[in-house]
Structure 1
Amino acid sequence: MMITLQDCLELLDEHDLLVDSTIVDKTQKINYISYNSRDINENTMFFCKGISFKKEYLVDAIKDGVTSYISETNYNLDIDSIIVTNVQKAMSLISALYFDNPQDKLFIIAYTGTKGKTTSSYLTYTILEQMNNQKTALFSTMDRVVGKEEGMKFKSDLTTPESLDLFRDMKRSVDNGMTHLVMEVSSQAYKKNRVYNLKYDVGIFLNISPDHIGKNEHPTFEDYLYCKKQLMANSKACVINRDTEYFDTVLKEAQKHVSSDNIYTYSQIEDSVDFKFIDRETKPTKGQFDLVSKSAKASAMDINGDYIVNLPGVFNESNSTAAAIATSIAGASKNQIAQGLSTTVVPGRMEAIETRNHGYIYIDYAHNYASMHALLGFANSNHPDSKIIVIVGSTGDKGISRREGFAKALSENANVAILTTDDPGFEDPQDICEEIDAKIDHNKVDTHIILDRIAAISRAIEISDNNSVVVIAGKGADPYQKINGVDTPYPTDSVVARTILDEID
């Protein structure tokens, strides 16, 4: 993992990013790259990124071993400098080069969508593990898996990490013998050029609805949609959910870049697609569906048939269909797909607990209107005579539109809502809860605010009976609360619920 300054200059110039450079010796080798002033080795190239970046960060980093830097600003320091138009794009390109282009040694399946990315990624990961003898890497919102040995799985900080971290972990995956990679690609990944110039073997567009709109995210829905569509522009084969809003727009984007032979569509509703899935039986803990080919290229894949998915809800049958198509493109057989779908476990996603005296408890990461609407719709359709009790909060500092969305979903499908704390960041959780509460239809929903999340879950279970469904939404398997810039340990919703049940059920 060693490149020269000349290699960097040529690459940046090729992509029209190079503005200027001041370099003593272009043959100088780079031993390490970093964007973190606390992570510096001898002869490090440093990326000065972020609107809050300060010159003093670079000055401190030089003391520890930085010998060159890339920036959009010339800091006029006595070291080699490369000035570019976009430092995030530059970091993505040079990171790929520094780590020997590991993306070219992996078959990459990538997901985007407002909801379902993590579940679909786990479904795909489990199928591929059946196919390639546990040689699949996973970069998800929850976990990063770069090898099958102990210590090669760890918690993720971001859905799609910074490009340097992304390519570093691809390199680790390749070195550990991984042949395939499943990853989630967030809209922010394109907004902030974390995946600039990265190409995928299969890109899947699951769905889109308003989310991540706010001062620290996307300024408008149009910007959000534009960023989501970029996955279609950077994939060799595209898989698109025909049932999503803005399908025509997404399809047109794919058609600009990919031949029709490599675009696959699927639906539960429409017949004019490549694959249609038909819900056969949805149980409280599992789903069953038929997958039917509707085109010649779909028939050639030979994956028609009846499938069982180890997750409940029609929306997970839709996710399973996407995973089946994507893995079939990668070479998975029908039997491998069936085995993977029937054994997939996704921590914190549609985790179902059947209790003795308190009905069913569902724990899910649902964190916006689309996912909450689908989750509560499932609860109502599968438990039509039950009281629906929901525990939910909303994150602080981002996704402000989610709060009104939660209120809407609760008003449509809940009987009781207990509003609580969920990663409030630097906001007051009481204010967040009151903002949700103000939009709820109180003629339909009995609403309470209990800021202590454990106490909120306890209260919900205490007031439930065998004719109740308790839905714990928002955090899934997250092991901490983000409070005032600190990741505060939290035992996870599942552990809390099971502990309470052990005491009272």
Structure 2
Amino acid sequence: MELHVTPALALLREHHLLDHVSNLSEFTATAVSYDSRQVKPGTLFFCKGNFLPKYLTMAKEKGAIAYVAEQEYPEGQGLPAIIVKDEQKAMALLGAAFYGFPQNDLFIIAITGTKGKTTTAYFADHVLDAATKQHVALFSTLDRILGHNPGDQFKSDLTTPESLDLFHDMRAAVSNGMTHLVMEVSSQAYKKRRVYGLKYNVGIFLNITPDHIGRNEHPTFADYLHCKEQLLVNSDVCVINAETQNFTDVYYTAKATTQPENIYLFARHGAKVSLPDDRQLDFEYRNDLENLHESEFQLDALSDNAKQLQLDHRYTTSVPGDYNEGNAVAAIIASGLAGASAQDAVDTLDHVHIKGRMEMIATKDHGTIYVDYAHNYASTKRLLAFLKRQTNAGKVTVVLGSAGDKGISRRPGLGKALTEESPDRVILTTDDPGFEDPVKIAETIDSYIDHDQVGTVDFIMDRETAIKNAIDHSVKGDIVVIAGKGEDPYQKIKGVNVPYASDSKVARDYVAEIEK
């Protein structure tokens, strides 16, 4: 991989990003990086984010050949300085160019939504894996899968990685023979311009509820919605859950850049949806069976456009929760648009397993434990409501917290969900507190709980201790719900990713210990 300065500057000019160039000389970058620790001779260095001039000094000492920034730095004296109007946009464009525009060699399904992105991504990945004979890459909140070798599969650090990492991984996937990519796209990816200039073959919009609103994320819900909608603006074909909040806004955003025949709308049978006069639903699904192990539903095509995909069928998913059926429907439609058949979905959806999503841990004497990533009002309420419908539970205990430095709006929502679903006991604990005091986060959640509706509320700030305490105080027939982190292998504390076994492992190991 390499990038010559002349086409790089031409690309920046084309997008009206180039301000000026200082100390220009002919060069060809043989590496790109925004991390000074990873710079090697021949690297084009990007001064991005929380940048400190000393990083440029380090990059120069390690062999950087030029740098891209929004201003000139004395520390870069002697190097060509490419000064741009927006560093993040420039990095995305030049990163794609350096790696040879790998997106052009992939059929990309992109997914956004406040909840359900990861589940939908795994559903689509499994269906397409069957259809393409295992030529699908996956970029999800949990994992990044670039190929079939052990080194090509690893834990994700961000739902949507920084642009240089994104295009590096796309190129690796193409080099590994992957022809399709399923990727989650977060609102922050658009806020931080990590996916600037990237286009998708199919874009899925699942839902939107207030979330990720706070001082370090989106300042308002309108900003959050706008960022989410950019996925539709950048997709050739759009698949939209017509039951989402703000549907009218979402639909007309898609229609502004996409022909109506390339917008597919779906909803549950009997759902109250408000469609434009010139539109009908393309797909409708009907729940026929749901229990703690699987969901079964019928999918019917209603429009002529939808019927051409031949996806009418009865499907079974192994991920429980009636709310996951909509995620499965979105994945089936998107996969169908990518060339998969109904049979591919039938053959795969019944054995999809997603770590940390509705994981059930059975015990002999301490009830049933459920581990789930639910971390806001909508997901927590839906999880608790589903479990209450499906079980004749004794006492219900919920262990949860909320992240610090972001998602401030989640805290009232968690208190509201707990009040409405009325568990017998709540243990408030630590969940990625960042630079905030976890006790104060817990106190904020607690202030929104109606204590007349909820049993007892306890504060146990060590998360592992909280989980063990909940299990200790449960008996046969009870339910323990551990919400928020799922399979996350660390706690974010004061800028450091502190290793943490994960909710699933803590619970499983403790059950094994006490039930020897």
TM-score bucket (shorter structure):
over 0.9
Correspondence for 2:436 among 418, 422, 427:
427
- Does 2:55 correspond to 1:57? yes
Trace 1:14-413 onto structure 2 (pairs within 5 A).
14-26=14-26, 28-50=27-49, 52-76=50-74, 77-268=77-268, 269-270=271-272, 272-383=280-391, 386-413=394-421
Partner SS, residue 37 of structure 2: coil
Spell out, residue by residue over 1:153-181, the C-alpha distance to the aligned partner (whole angstroms, 9 max, x if none): 11111111110010000001011111111
Partner SS, residue 181 of structure 2: strand
Instruction: Choose 197-206 or 287-296, whichever is displaced more.
Output: 287-296
**Cα separation, 2, equivalents of 1:168 and 1:381:** 45
Partner SS, residue 424 of structure 1: coil
1:346 aligned partner, one-letter code:
I
Quick check: 1:279–1:288 contact (8 Å CA) kept in 2? Answer: yes
Correspondence for 2:502 among 467, 486, 492:
492
How many corresponding residue pairs? 503
The aligned counterpart of 1:481 is 491
Quick check: 1:389–1:460 contact (8 Å CA) kept in 2? Answer: yes
**Cα separation, 2, equivalents of 1:6 and 1:285:** 58
Quick check: 1:135–1:148 contact (8 Å CA) kept in 2? Answer: no
Partner SS, residue 432 of structure 2: coil
The aligned counterpart of 1:448 is 458
Deviation >4 Å, runs of 4+: none
**Cα separation, 2, equivalents of 1:468 and 1:12:** 60
**Cα separation, 1, equivalents of 2:489 and 2:299:** 36
5+ unaligned residues in a row in structure 2: which ranges? 274-279
**Cα separation, 1, equivalents of 2:389 and 2:90:** 50
User: 1:373 deviation in Å?
Assistant: 1.3
**Cα separation, 2, equivalents of 1:266 and 1:105:** 29
Spell out, residue by residue over 1:73-98, the C-alpha distance to the aligned partner (whole angstroms, 9 max, x if none): 02252211111110100000000000
Spell out, residue by residue over 1:258-288, the C-alpha distance to the aligned partner (whole angstroms, 9 max, x if none): 1111110111115841111111111112111
Quick check: 1:280–1:288 contact (8 Å CA) kept in 2? Answer: yes
User: 1:257 deviation in Å?
Assistant: 0.8
1:297 aligned partner, one-letter code:
N
**Cα separation, 1, equivalents of 2:151 and 2:55:** 32
User: 1:379 deviation in Å?
Assistant: 1.2
User: 1:388 deviation in Å?
Assistant: 2.2
**Cα separation, 1, equivalents of 2:365 and 2:303:** 49
Correspondence for 1:416 among 425, 445, 455:
425
Q: How high is the TM-score relative to the length of structure 2?
A: 0.95
The aligned counterpart of 2:276 is none
Spell out, residue by residue over 1:293-343, the C-alpha distance to the aligned partner (whole angstroms, 9 max, x if none): 111111111111111101111111110000000000001111111122111
Partner SS, residue 70 of structure 1: strand
**Cα separation, 2, equivalents of 1:430 and 1:122:** 35
Quick check: 1:270–1:276 contact (8 Å CA) kept in 2? Answer: no
The aligned counterpart of 1:439 is 448
User: 1:23 deviation in Å?
Assistant: 4.3
**Cα separation, 1, equivalents of 2:376 and 2:73:** 42
1:55 aligned partner, one-letter code:
P
Quick check: 1:395–1:422 contact (8 Å CA) kept in 2? Answer: yes
**Cα separation, 1, equivalents of 2:370 and 2:256:** 41
1:352 aligned partner, one-letter code:
M
Partner SS, residue 42 of structure 1: coil
User: 1:55 deviation in Å?
Assistant: 2.1
The aligned counterpart of 2:10 is 10
1:23–1:4 distance in 2 versus 1, CA, 3 Å: farther
**Cα separation, 2, equivalents of 1:306 and 1:356:** 35
1:81 aligned partner, one-letter code:
A
State percent identity of aligned pairs: 50
